[in-house]
Structure 1
Amino acid sequence: MKNRIITASILFVMLSCTRDDVNLDQHATYEAIPESLVTYAEKELSDYMNTPNVNENNFRLTMQYWQEVTYVSESNYNFTNRNVSDNIWGLNYINVLNNLQKAKDLINVYQPAASEISGWEVKKKNQLAIIDMMMVYTYQNMVDLFGNIPYSQALNNAQYQLPAYDNAADIYASLITRLNSDIANITNGGSFGSGDVYYKGDLSKWKKFGNSLLLKLGISLSDVNPTLAKTTITSAISGGVMTSLDDSCKFQYLSSSPNYNPIYENVFANNRDDFFGAKPLVDFLNSTNDNRVTKFFDDVDGAYIGQVVGQPGNFEDFSAPGTFAYTSTTPGNILTYTEVAFYLAEAAARFNLGGDPKTLYDKAVSASFLEWGLTNAQADDYLTANPFDAVNWKKSIGQQAWVAMYNQANVSYNFYRRLDYPVLVAPLTAISNAEGKVPVRLQYPTLEASTNGTNYTNAGTAIGGDKLTTKLFWDKF
């Protein structure tokens, strides 16, 4: 794994930095300012989490939201031909984590001018806390995709050119410790301002983000370490998680290239009709009379039609993604209130923490309706017809989180593996490596096998085999 610092040539604002000889290393950047690195890392993280590009993020296909029109390899879980794991590895380690680490380094060595000294220490702590929370978010996502990953030796190429892989459970414990420290370090004072595209430096929003992320970490551990899960969830709720859609962490895209939404880029700007609705989701929406189908998809002569998973088809015969996908400025989701609301419902159902499970479930479903521009009245009608099942709460929360996370497929993938709902069936045409199942992780990058072979081999052995069917440490049932 090579560690490089990459910054964008075009950002949302013109930022001052100088480049070394581009003939030697066109990606090398020196004298960059922390704000520019944070801006770039935020955009790269959002681009990855939201893109439907089959070279980088196929979870809309894996979660059977969308189906490919012509080239159906990824719908059948063939991620190797396009080096998907390599691309995800590079995007997150290099474009996101390394740039955030570089921003940390610059902040730590910065010598403030005399006029800045009085508020610098507080501002420094806030900036470092914000950066670290984004790093925690990114590391958790990587663990949740692969299992054991480089962590303690990552981002230090000078000392560890071939980093070892840490145990995934140990990484989770470390992330919880880091996040608790980050939350505690946020105090009134300076921050990043406009360099932080997510919250514009709003520290109250970042504190809610931190507690909401802490809740997410705790929920993930529910089946494997309930003691740590409960203490983490309790700390998050008492600290103050997101309470409305206004608290959601999103990246606001612009109307023109290269800063428009990556969904728009892939479904419209590239002049390709590559995706339409997948039958499992479309049929579920139709069977439950869900108004969200009108937002998720376009109709075909008044009907909503999805294609069988793994099969190609004519674009005109099936429901295309909805207007949101064809809008250049649709925000990119990082961590939303709707997602957090479902975690709260799960915490209540599992551990009797935070309130009444049905009430919190209803709030979560209603949040999804409101997020998609529908009304509380429509949500109430839907909930009357599709009430919470207190006995099989995993089914209720799992199915509704699947629907609600339609535009957060990576998040949906976690709900699916943790709760085992909805019941998704692999296509008969799926690659043999899937063993007739929907994959429960990604295989390690082929580049790691060739350049970091010993550590790659040890990691594969430690998790039970580098396979699509190897469950993560927290996926117990």
Structure 2
Amino acid sequence: MIMKNIFKYLSIGLIGGVLFTGCETTNLDLTENPNALTPSQADVDFYLNEVQVKFARVVESLGETGAEVTRIEWMGSRNYQNAYSPAGFDGNWEDAYQEVIKNARDLTPLAEEAGLTHHIAIAQFIEAYTITLLVDYFGDVPYSEAIGGADNLNPSTDSGADIYTAALALTNAAIANFNSTALADPDIDFYYDGDWDAWVKAANTLKLRLHLNLGQTGAFNSIISSGNFISSTDDDFQFQWGSNQVQPDTRHPNYAQNYTVTGGGDYASIWMMNLMDTTDDPRIRYYYYRQNDGTPNALDINGVYVPPNEETLDCSLQSTPPPQYAAGGFPFCSLDNGYWGRNHGNDAGIPPDGLLRTAVGVYPQAGQFDDNSFGETSLGTGGGGAGITPMLLASWVDFWRAELAMNSSPAAGKPFILAGIAKSIAKVQTFASLDATADLSFEPSASDVSDFIDFIDSEFDAADNEGKWNIMAEQFFIALKGNGHDAYNFYRRKGYPTDLEPNLEQNPGAFIRSFFYPANAANTNSNLNQKSGVTDQVFWDTNPASPTFPVAN
């Protein structure tokens, strides 16, 4: 259903690349770009195509950031204050405001005139998702004055609470438009291919996320009672990438960075790989592809010790781990069985290990399935990058429901946790077929899956209340592979897991409660004052201040 839209996208990609990329400014001065269509010239479908694709890139990029600070992915800074430069968010900010929100606003009057209510609904939903994403990462941001163009070059910020209120109203408006009869439907719907009932479920699921952050249990439960939300993986809200390498490059961005002639471009998280390996998590062969069967200063897959190697893994020569690692029993530098990654905060230089380190797997990036072949990754191998960016999944909803149940009684969350794990595993296993050359005899069996779920079941029962929350959080984070936005939100809401791997720096500073504003926006907008640090809490984060919360740095 969705893949055919990728081929449509290839046909419009060159047009879209000319018409909608490039901007005169990188703040919120949204004057007309001479290289882009103006509203009076534009085609509604072209606008909507650009909104859908740029939205996916914003979610993918910020979701990676959320995954890094919560150890789903590797964060390469020993100091939270300096981990993410303001300039690093310039592209996200520009895409969110200029390519997503402004284009969504510009297409609306054209669509209204033509009776294209489903076009409007998609734009409204995406705008609501996008602006609340910005609130969750940056706090108060421009919104009501943001798209003023030359009439307002210095838009003021709106409170995060007001933006959430506006986003909920916008989502309700989107639902009404999805339920309407449009005079014509979008040429390309990258997400549901014209299934408007599925779009309504996605809109209600976005509202579940917002109500959860707001602590609005009644409103959350009302949607659950309606049954009209994403409860089946068949209705998961996600963006499907393609495998085309150039003009345009439609591959999953993480695949493009890691399947190159020089090997991997990212490091995998030691915390996540160790958690999955030591619990026999059946998803591990889908999440990670090992290019090597052993890591220096650890045991290979046959139990044979691999000696340290100064050139490829200099920390393997370190005789004792940092004291905070030794005290907590955290694995340092090297893992057994060939899982080659980096610890949280490891900012060492990059050695010649691109064809040795563990690479992204077949889920969700459409890399290679790990079948113990231990070959080098290369351009086009595995699924060729035709993976997904998950945005709202049925498994995530189960964990949201577990959280609410556990707020009253930690034991009450177990059925939701187990349901979320089962949905996550079943979804992930469907991705193995993307790697046509893989030996799928290495896939976990049905008994492997049931044994793992039974293990989590018994571990949860045996744990005290803090341990139950830790198990729930760990399994939630694993299910969030591919988009760490909800992990970042959850960690600030609840502070679990309390046993996350610490930063390599003993005193890394306070955990990031919100990120610096993008440099271009702060430098050019007189009404947007740059933060002095990363401890400013977003409006719904009412927990104690950092560094005492969250507990793990």
Scaled by the length of structure 1, the TM-score of the pair is: 0.80
2:190 is aligned, of 188, 194, 197, to 197
Query: Structure 1 residues 126 and 57, CA, compared in 2 at 3 Å: closer, same or farther?
Result: same
- Aligned: 1:215 with 2:285: no
CA contact (8 A) 2:74 2:268 kept: yes
Q: How far, CA to CA, are the matches of 2:354 and 2:533 in structure 1?
A: 33
CA contact (8 A) 1:19 1:29 kept: yes
1:27 is aligned, of 11, 32, 35, to 35
Structure 2: state its 5+ residue gaps: 1-7, 25-32, 294-300, 302-336, 368-383, 430-443, 544-553
How far the C-alpha of 1:150 sits from its partner, in A, is: 0.7
Structural mapping, 1:348-359, within 5 Å = 348-350=405-407, 357-359=413-415
Bigger CA drift: 59-68 or 209-218? 59-68
Q: How far, CA to CA, are the matches of 1:259 and 1:41 in structure 2?
A: 15
- Aligned: 1:64 with 2:71: yes
Q: How far, CA to CA, are the matches of 1:40 and 1:137 in structure 2?
A: 16
User: Per-residue CA shift, 1:401-431, capped at 9, x if unaligned?
Assistant: 111112112232222222212243552449x
Alignment partner, residue 364 of structure 1 = 420
- Which amino acid is 1:204 matched to? D
Structural mapping, 1:103-252, within 5 Å = 103-108=107-112, 110=113, 112=114, 120=115, 124-187=116-179, 189-190=181-182, 192-222=185-215, 228-235=216-223, 237-238=225-226, 240-252=228-240
Alignment partner, residue 89 of structure 1 = 93
- 3-state SS of paired residue (2:82): coil
Structural mapping, 1:406-421, within 5 Å = 406-421=481-496
Alignment partner, residue 306 of structure 1 = 341
CA contact (8 A) 2:242 2:251 kept: yes
How far the C-alpha of 1:358 sits from its partner, in A, is: 2.3
CA contact (8 A) 2:341 2:357 kept: yes
- Which amino acid is 2:230 matched to? M
- Aligned: 1:291 with 2:295: no
1:268 is aligned, of 259, 268, 289, to 259
- Which amino acid is 1:360 matched to? F
Q: How far, CA to CA, are the matches of 1:456 and 1:405 in structure 2?
A: 32
CA contact (8 A) 1:194 1:201 kept: no
CA contact (8 A) 1:298 1:321 kept: yes
- 3-state SS of paired residue (1:83): helix
CA contact (8 A) 1:338 1:368 kept: yes
- Aligned: 1:321 with 2:379: no
Q: How many positions carry a matched residue from both structures?
A: 432
User: Per-residue CA shift, 1:285-319, capped at 9, x if unaligned?
Assistant: 12322122211112331313432223246445542
Query: Structure 1 residues 231 and 103, CA, compared in 2 at 3 Å: closer, same or farther?
Result: same
Alignment partner, residue 117 of structure 1 = none
CA RMSD of aligned residues (A): 3.2
CA contact (8 A) 1:35 1:192 kept: no
Q: How far, CA to CA, are the matches of 1:360 and 1:267 in structure 2?
A: 34
Bigger CA drift: 276-285 or 307-316? 307-316
Alignment partner, residue 282 of structure 1 = 273
Alignment partner, residue 382 of structure 1 = 452
Name the larger-Rg structure.
2
How far the C-alpha of 1:338 sits from its partner, in A, is: 1.9
Query: Structure 1 residues 164 and 198, CA, compared in 2 at 3 Å: closer, same or farther?
Result: same
Q: How far, CA to CA, are the matches of 1:38 and 1:262 in structure 2?
A: 21
Structural mapping, 1:443-458, within 5 Å = 443-453=516-526, 455-457=527-529
Query: Structure 1 residues 29 and 287, CA, compared in 2 at 3 Å: closer, same or farther?
Result: same
CA contact (8 A) 1:370 1:376 kept: no
Structure 1: state its 5+ residue gaps: 1-9, 113-119, 223-227
- 3-state SS of paired residue (2:238): strand
Scaled by the length of structure 2, the TM-score of the pair is: 0.70
Alignment partner, residue 41 of structure 1 = 51
User: Per-residue CA shift, 1:210-267, capped at 9, x if unaligned?
Assistant: 1111111111122xxxxx3422442354251112111011222222132222122111
